[in-house]
């Protein structure tokens, strides 16, 4: 049977990350415990979306919007379906008048407010969706923000019943301890939670100091370790466009040297990472198994990893595309 | 701080908003994999000699149209599921996982076969004839014999082919940057060689060609000093003739254009790395098909103008059938004939290098394609874990590359020392796999509307049908037509008993491999079907 645990004494963790506001991906994540037979669900960082899609009411009763880089005109009967599709892709649809659209267009402050409102609404709706389902499944569910998430996201995530916020905390987990941070090293985009490598190292070391045996810990760190298969992404030029040679994108390492150094030194049981959507894979650093399930959130596909632990050791890692 | 992107959406500051291969990059990727030179070699060597009555122009246009249909179908797949990995991704989203794995397995082993095929032809079509031609032009009989006998022989072919595969694997193992650099250099050499080839043909008159050919071959062949007309006469006596236009032979000849043109759709394997996927893939796939067909047609016209179609048919026929006194010591590929016809060592070397460059472009890429699939299978647990391991220093999957290399060398050995594989039998296997995936695409908009409706092409209808249904329908028809065209072409692929055994055995073997891994994983407590299953939302 698919929905049984592998063995009764295995700890089965389902880890997914970088859902970036995708409604369908979050709902799949909440249902993953029952589907995969996991007893622990961990949602890695970057939970919020990146784009608001205005749907502007027109005098003739139709709606003007953008989809896949093109303008689209919708009939009233198509609106609900369009909004659902946009939400599943991780974006925030917003119906408005032409005047409202023009006012928003002219004011970046008002756009920020709109992002805040829509993001908070979606996170609140996710909390409502998750509560009864998690209670029914009797699974532990953890979530953490990522470098792309605003700081106020922590408060919303932390207030959800049934979901435990992990950011900058050490929590016990079935005889192991897990530290978590959504902070990353510096990126070309100057995102919300990024810092220099030494600062990142200090943040993680502060949590390692709270762990009794770092060698029996799980490092749930959004940014992957440097120079692994988990941190390979397209190299960008000065205008943030990918560099190509011979018709192919040139790949480079974008992970953290601090994270790598600390994993090499403390050799935790498991490293849970995200951040680099293209970096789907499994890597070993010494005896530490590091995982990045990658992300395909805009397709509505939930990339995940099913991790089985026994006696404090990783028994198996299976990457999934649900 | 939020920003306005385009006209009607608002973006906030966040990572990863830009990610794209340019349209030109995709075009270069695809046209490099067509291997214009290899296609030219196949068509102009086998066409006039084997497919008597086959019209090169019509055959090439037919293959181009069929590949456009296949390309359009694959285009709708890659736009709808814009991820890297090719048909494995399409299959696991649309069909029973064991079937999806089976199709992926037969597809990538077919491309691996063509990597080996390219490596073999690097020796037989590229290096050996080039050395022989240089020997002839310089009057160095030792060099001439070394090229014609040693390099073109079984062991010469095996050693050159294996060396090429090993070099390709080493380049891939050392990192993708080096791979891309080498490919770019070889692509440049190939293009320059082709320009030299076309330029030489334009500059060379029929009289010049005839005079130079006669002076070089008059004393080497046994058909008199007027070797040009002597070869035509000897071949005609031996059975070669020009029966005029023949539809069935033209259709069969089209197989040799279709084979390299399949490379035009290989950018489906990098779908996840293209931002403007609709525009980029359209330009890449369709541009590569059209561009290749145009270059080939121009080349045919120039070759026939310079050498004459009867001579080309006679000289290739004589070589393939060892017609007494008329078989040239160097395999008469048109590229080498052009160099000889110009009586120039420099031009011969430049043209040969260009030709070698085109063949080379196939070799490492056909190792790379299976390597990517092997890693994907390993991550999905349908293949041993060790094959998914990536070297931490070079970031390359060395065990998967080694496995692909071993498979490639085995194929080279089979091609060099045995006649077990009909020339392009594996193209039947690959075309059948693609045909099945295209057929699945016909129904995809109806079976998986949850995925299809997110596609940028979801709103496009043709005669009331989703564009994916129409494009994949056309692609399915084209792919199955060419499957049967190959099936009934006994020279290229055919349906001899052992060919059918290879064809069926490959599918059945892949299916069995899936279930062996399913059983092994089940004993380990891993359910491999979970890798593909969609999580239901309650």
Residue B500: what pLDDT?
80
Q: Of B383, B387, B434, nearest to B91 (Cα)?
A: B434
Contact criterion met (CB < 8 Å) for B21 and A244: yes
Interface size A-B, in CB pairs within 8 Å, comes to 205
Please check whether residue A227 is in contact with residue A208, taking contact to mean a CB–CB distance below 8 angstroms. Answer: no
- Closest chain A residue to B21 measured between Cα atoms? A249
Question: Residues 6 or more apart from B192 whose CB is under 8 A from it?
Answer: B350, B354
For residue A44, the model assigns a pLDDT of: 94
DSSP letter, residue A140: E
Dist. CA B439–CA B479, nearest whole Å: 10
The chain-wide mean pLDDT, for chain B, equals 85
Phi-psi region of A208 (alpha: psi -120 to 50; beta: other; left: phi over 0): alpha
> Cβ B10–A32 below 8 Å, yes or no?
no
How near does any CA of chain A get to the CA of B273, in Å? 7
- Picking from A31, A64, A246, the nearest residue to B183 by CB comes out as A246
Structural contact between residues B342 and B200, judged by C-beta atoms closer than 8 angstroms: yes
Q: Give chain B's length.
A: 538
DSSP B9: E
Q: Which helix (H) or strand (E) is A95 found in, with range?
A: strand A92-96
Q: Do B9 and A189 touch (CB under 8 A)?
A: no
**DSSP helix/strand/coil, A282:** strand
How far from A79 is each of A56, A64, A82, B336, B427, CA to CA, in Å? 11, 10, 5, 64, 47
A18 neighbors A277 (Cβ within 8 angstroms): yes
Q: Which residue from B29, B531, B536 is facing A321, i.e. has the nearest CB?
A: B531
Q: A175 is written with which tokens?
A: 């005889």
* Structure tokens belonging to residue B23: 């349209």
Mean pLDDT of B417-446: 84
Residue A73 has pLDDT above 90, yes or no: no
Q: Using the structure block, give the residue that is written with the tokens 């762990």.
A: A211
- Checking DSSP bridges between strand A51-57 and strand A63-67, what pairing results, if any? antiparallel
Tell me yes or no: is domain A11-51+112-321 CATH 3.40.50.2300.
no
Model confidence at A2, pLDDT cuts 50, 70, 90, reads very low
Surface-to-core class of residue A186, CB atoms within 10 Å of its CB (0-12 exposed, 13-18 middle, 19+ buried): middle
- Give A322's contacts in chain B (Cβ within 8 Å): 533-535
Residue B371 has pLDDT above 70, yes or no: yes
Q: Is the pLDDT of residue A247 over 60?
A: no
CB under 8 Å to A164, separation ≥6 — which residues? A140, A141, A142, A143, A171
Contact B12 A51 (CB under 8 A): yes
Bridge partners (DSSP) of residue B465 are: B462
pLDDT tens-digit series, residues B160-189: 999 999 999 998 888 777 777 887 788 889
Give B25's contacts in chain A (Cβ within 8 Å): 244, 247-249
Mean per-residue pLDDT over chain A, rounded: 88
pLDDT value at residue A314? 92
d(CA B534, CA B450): 11
Q: What are the chain A neighbours of B14 within 8 Å (beta carbons)?
A: 50, 148, 189, 191
| Nearest CB partner across the interface for B526, out of A190, A280, A318 | A318
CB contact under 8 A, B454 and A299: yes
Give the lowest-confidence range in A107-121, A197-211, B194-208, B414-428.
B414-428
> Mean of the pLDDT values across residues A14-37?
94
Question: pLDDT, tens digit, for every residue of B387-405?
Answer: 888 787 777 888 999 999 9
Q: Which residues of B touch A275 (CB under 8 A)?
A: 15
Q: Cα distance from B111 to chain A (closest Cα, Å)?
A: 19
Q: Which residue has the higher pLDDT, B343 or B92?
A: B343
Whether B22 shows a pLDDT value over 70: the answer reads: no
Q: What domains can you pick out in chain B, each with its CATH number? A: 19-531 (1.20.1740.10)
Backbone dihedral angles phi then psi of residue B461, each to the nearest 5 degrees: -120, 145
pLDDT at B370: 85
Closest B-chain CA to A88: B454
> For B224-244, what is each residue's pLDDT tens digit?
889 999 999 999 999 888 888
Whether the predicted pLDDT of B537 surpasses 90 = no
pLDDT level of residue B17 (50, 70, 90 thresholds): very low
* Percent of chain A at pLDDT exceeding 90: 56
Please state, as a whole number, how many other Cβ atoms lie within 10 Å of the Cβ of residue B415.
23
Q: What is the per-residue pLDDT for A229?
A: 85
CA-based nearest distance B89→chain A, Å: 10
Beta-carbon separation of A229 and B26 below 8 A: no
CA distance B365 to B34: 11
Q: Which of A63, A93, A115, A248 to mutate to test the interface with B (most CBs of B within 10 A)?
A: A248
The mean pLDDT value for A69-86 works out to 83
Confidence label for B23 from pLDDT (cuts 50, 70 and 90): low
Q: So what's the pLDDT on residue B270?
A: 62
Distance between CA atoms of A43 and A145, rounded to whole angstroms?
9
User: Looking at B57-66, B131-140, B373-382, which range is the least confident one?
Assistant: B373-382
In angstroms, rounded to a whole number, what is the distance separating the alpha carbons of residues B296 and B301? Answer: 9
Kindly give the pairing relationship between strand A176-181 and strand A217-221.
parallel
Domain ranges of chain A: 11-51+112-321, 52-111
- Does the pTM of the predicted model rise above 0.90? no
- Mean pLDDT of the B261-273 span: 73
Q: Are B243 and B253 in contact (CB under 8 A)?
A: no
pLDDT at A28: 94
Phi and psi at residue B105, to the nearest 5°: -60, -50
What is the per-residue pLDDT for B198? 92
Q: How many CB atoms lie within 10 A of CB B21?
A: 27
What is the pLDDT averaged over residues A243-271?
86
Distance CA A92, CA A59 (A): 23
The string of pLDDT tens digits covering residues A102-145 is 898 888 899 989 999 999 999 999 999 999 998 888 889 999 99
Q: Which chain A residues have a beta carbon less than 8 Å from that of B2?
A: 52, 108, 111-112, 115
- CA-nearest residue of chain A to B175? A251
Distance CA A55, CA A62 (A): 10
Q: What is the 3-state secondary structure (H, E, C) of B297-338?
A: HHHHHHHHHHHCHHHHHHHHHHHHCCCCCCCCCCCCCHHHHH
Burial class, A3, CB count within 10 angstroms (exposed 0-12 / middle 13-18 / buried 19+): exposed
Interface mutation target, options B5, B7, B14, B15, chain A, most CBs of A under 10 Å: B15
ipTM of predicted complex: 0.82
Instruction: List chain A residues with CB under 8 Å of B527.
Output: 2
- Cα A182 from Cα A271, distance rounded (Å): 13
CB contact under 8 A, B5 and A112: no
| Interacting residues of B257 by C-beta distance below 8 A, sequence separation 6+ | B39, B42, B43, B59, B60, B62, B63, B64, B293, B296
pLDDT at A9: 63
Q: Is the pLDDT of residue A257 over 60?
A: yes
Confidence band of B13 (pLDDT split at 50, 70, 90): low
CB contact under 8 A, A299 and B81: yes
Q: Which among B288, B535, B537, B538 is the top mutation candidate for probing chain A, defined by the most A β-carbons within 10 Å of its own β-carbon?
A: B535
**Using the beta-carbon criterion (under 8 Å), do B450 and A300 form an inter-chain contact?**
yes
Residue B265 has pLDDT above 90, yes or no: no
Does residue B8 carry a pLDDT above 70? yes
Give the per-residue pLDDT at B162.
95
Distance from CA of A210 to the nearest CA of B (A): 30
CB A217 within 8 A of CB A176: yes
């Amino acid at each position: 049977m698919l929905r049984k645990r592998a063995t009764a004494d295995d700890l089965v963790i389902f880890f997914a990350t970088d859902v970036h506001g995708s409604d369908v991906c979050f709902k799949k994540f909440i249902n993953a415990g029952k589907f995969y037979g996991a007893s622990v669900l961990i949602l890695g960082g970057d939970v919020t979306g990146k784009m608001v899609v205005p749907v502007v009411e027109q005098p003739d009763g139709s709606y003007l919007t953008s989809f896949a880089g093109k303008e689209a005109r919708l009939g009233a009967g198509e609106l609900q379906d369009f909004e659902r599709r946009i939400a599943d892709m991780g974006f925030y649809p917003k119906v408005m008048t032409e005047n409202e659209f023009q006012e928003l267009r002219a004011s970046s402050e008002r756009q920020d407010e709109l992002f805040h409102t829509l993001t908070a609404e979606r996170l609140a709706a996710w909390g409502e969706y998750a509560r009864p389902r998690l209670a029914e499944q009797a699974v532990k569910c953890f979530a953490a923000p990522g470098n792309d998430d605003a700081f106020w996201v922590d408060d919303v995530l932390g207030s959800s019943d049934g979901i435990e916020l992990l950011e900058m905390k050490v929590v016990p987990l079935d005889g192991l301890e897990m530290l978590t941070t959504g902070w990353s090293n510096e990126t070309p985009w100057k995102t919300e939670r990024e810092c220099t490598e030494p600062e990142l190292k200090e943040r993680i070391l502060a949590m390692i100091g709270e762990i009794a045996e770092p060698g029996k810990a799980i490092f749930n760190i959004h940014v992957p370790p440097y120079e692994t298969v988990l941190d390979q992404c397209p190299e960008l030029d000065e205008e943030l466009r990918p560099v190509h040679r011979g018709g192919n994108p040139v790949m480079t390492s974008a992970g953290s040297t601090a994270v790598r150094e600390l994993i090499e030194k403390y050799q935790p049981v498991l490293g849970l990472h995200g951040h680099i959507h293209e970096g789907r894979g499994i890597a070993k650093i010494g005896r530490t198994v590091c995982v990045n399930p990658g992300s395909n959130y805009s397709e509505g596909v939930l990339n995940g990893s099913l991790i089985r632990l026994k006696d404090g050791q990783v028994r198996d890692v299976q990457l999934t595309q649900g | 701080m939020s920003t306005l992107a385009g006209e009607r959406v608002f973006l906030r500051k966040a990572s990863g908003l830009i990610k794209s291969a340019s349209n030109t990059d995709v075009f270069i990727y695809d046209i490099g994999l067509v291997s214009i030179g290899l296609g030219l070699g196949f068509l102009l060597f086998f066409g006039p000699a084997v497919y008597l009555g086959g019209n090169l122009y019509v055959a090439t246009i037919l293959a181009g149209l069929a590949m456009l249909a296949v390309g359009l179908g694959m285009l709708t797949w890659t736009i709808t599921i814009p991820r890297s990995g090719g048909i494995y991704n399409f299959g696991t989203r649309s069909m029973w996982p064991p079937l999806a794995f089976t199709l992926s397995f037969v597809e990538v082993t077919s491309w691996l076969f063509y990597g080996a095929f390219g490596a073999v032809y690097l020796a037989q079509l590229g290096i050996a004839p080039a050395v022989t031609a240089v020997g002839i032009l310089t009057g160095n009989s030792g060099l001439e014999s070394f090229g014609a006998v040693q390099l073109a022989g079984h062991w010469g072919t095996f050693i050159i082919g294996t060396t090429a595969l090993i070099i390709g694997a080493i380049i891939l193992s050392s990192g993708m940057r080096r791979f891309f650099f080498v490919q770019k250099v070889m692509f440049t050499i190939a293009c320059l060689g082709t320009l030299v080839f076309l330029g030489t043909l334009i500059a060379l008159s029929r009289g010049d060609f005839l005079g130079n050919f006669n002076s070089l071959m008059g004393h080497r062949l046994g058909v008199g000093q007027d070797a040009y007309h002597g070869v035509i006469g000897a071949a005609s006596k031996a059975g070669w003739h020009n029966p005029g236009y023949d539809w069935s032979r033209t259709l069969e000849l089209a197989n040799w254009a279709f084979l390299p043109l399949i490379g035009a759709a290989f950018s489906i394997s990098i779908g996840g790395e293209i931002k403007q996927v609709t525009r980029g893939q359209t330009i890449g796939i369709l541009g590569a098909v059209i561009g290749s067909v145009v270059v080939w047609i121009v080349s045919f016209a120039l070759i026939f103008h310079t050498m004459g179609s009867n001579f080309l048919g006679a000289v290739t026929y004589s070589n393939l059938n060892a017609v007494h006194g008329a078989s040239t010591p160097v395999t008469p590929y048109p590229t080498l004939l052009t160099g000889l016809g110009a009586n120039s060592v420099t031009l011969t070397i430049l043209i040969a290098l260009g030709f070698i460059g085109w063949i080379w472009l196939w070799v490492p890429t056909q190792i790379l394609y299976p390597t990517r699939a092997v890693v994907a299978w390993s991550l999905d647990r349908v293949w041993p874990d060790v094959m998914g391991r990536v070297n931490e220093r070079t970031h390359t999957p060395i065990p998967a590359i080694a496995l692909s290399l071993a498979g490639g060398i085995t194929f080279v050995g089979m091609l060099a020392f045995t006649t077990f594989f009909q020339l392009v039998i594996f193209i039947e296997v690959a075309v059948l796999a693609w045909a099945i995936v295209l057929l699945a695409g016909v129904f995809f908009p109806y079976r998986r509307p949850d995925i299809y409706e997110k596609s940028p092409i979801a709103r496009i209808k043709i005669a009331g049908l989703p564009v994916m249904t129409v494009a994949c329908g056309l692609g399915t028809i084209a792919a199955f037509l060419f499957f049967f065209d190959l099936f009934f072409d006994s020279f290229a692929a055919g349906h001899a008993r052992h060919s059918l055994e290879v064809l069926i055995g490959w599918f059945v073997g892949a299916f069995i491999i899936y279930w062996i891994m399913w059983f092994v994983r089940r004993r380990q407590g891993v359910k491999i079907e979970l890798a593909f299953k969609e999580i239901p939302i309650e």
